[in-house]
Amino acid sequence: MIRMEHIAFHYPKQEALFHDLCLHIEQGQWVSIVGPNGAGKSTLVKLINGLLRPASGKISVHDLPVANEHIHDVRKRVGYLFQNPDNQFIATTVRDDIAFGLENRAIPRDEMIARIEEVAHELGIVEWLDRHPASLSGGQKQRVAIAGLLVLKPDIMIWDEATSMLDERSKQSMMVQLKRLHQERNMTIISVTHDAEEILASERAIVIKNGQVAADMTPMELFEQEELAYECKLVPPFALALTMALHKKGFAIEPMEDERELVNVLWPS
């Protein structure tokens, strides 16, 4: 569980970005963080694992205060995946890079090897273990970055625009991995994103605007509020946009995001 109570934050010599912001996220939820550019979405998730500290207010992760005396334990629970995976690579092979976090935690060698092998098989990266990270594609690098987090067994994974640099095929592969992690591990996932498909895959959409949580709703409800979605620079997928337009014109059709389902509904007409 993540609790943010009455959070205020500002960067040096700038106006307050957050003021009296409150947010609760339950264990096992998949939450999308959306909002206009400059609203502070990335700042918000960096506050959760202590990369940034609030000017006032309280933040806790599984009842542990995000404060100096608990920060090591908090970061054991929270994995953070950056937009650019190259920012997370420090070793000359994929295997050594995945092992880096385990070495820092003094995990015994036998357990370290077992964890790396388990995660490598889970994510389908066994054949890359002895390759240099720079030799991988963007989608492959992101999968390796995920492996480096999963071996540490976090309860919470934060994705900060982690699919924005991927091509469509790589993004779809990453979404499959994300859905599986959520279902099989009951992992809490917090995703900062503008990607409509990624938002619709989540359970909850939180809109950050004007220093506050401006809306907290299901992803479908967010896209149905077209003015708010537009303000957040969100473009609905084709099937959803079409069904919403047809619904507005009086057709007895509910908004849906699956194109095959849409074809089946429209075909009798």
Q: With 90 as the cut, is the pLDDT of residue 66 above it?
A: yes
Higher local confidence (pLDDT), 171 or 22: 22
Rounded to two decimals, the pTM is 0.86
Mean pLDDT comparison of 151-160, 236-245, 257-266, highest-scoring range: 151-160
SS (H, E, C) 62-73: CCEECCHHHHHH
Pairing type for strands 64-65 and 18-25 reads: unpaired
For the chain, percent of residues with pLDDT exceeding 90: 51
Residue 268: pLDDT band (50, 70, 90) is: low
Among 222, 228, 206, 230, which residue's Cα sits nearest to residue 255? Answer: 222
pLDDT per position as a tens digit, 29-64: 999 999 998 899 999 999 999 999 999 999 999 999
- Please, are residues 141 and 171 in contact by the beta-carbon 8 Å criterion? no
Q: Give dist(CA 89, CA 141) in Å, integer.
A: 9
In this prediction, residues 218-238 reach a mean pLDDT of: 90
Q: Give dist(CA 122, CA 175) in Å, integer.
A: 15
For the chain, percent of residues with pLDDT exceeding 70: 99
Q: Give dist(CA 91, CA 82) in Å, integer.
A: 17
Q: With 90 as the cut, is the pLDDT of residue 174 above it?
A: no
Tokens standing for residue 114: 């077992």
Residue reference for tokens 């957040």 = 232
Residue 226: pLDDT band (50, 70, 90) is: confident
pLDDT per position as a tens digit, 125-151: 999 999 999 899 888 888 888 889 889
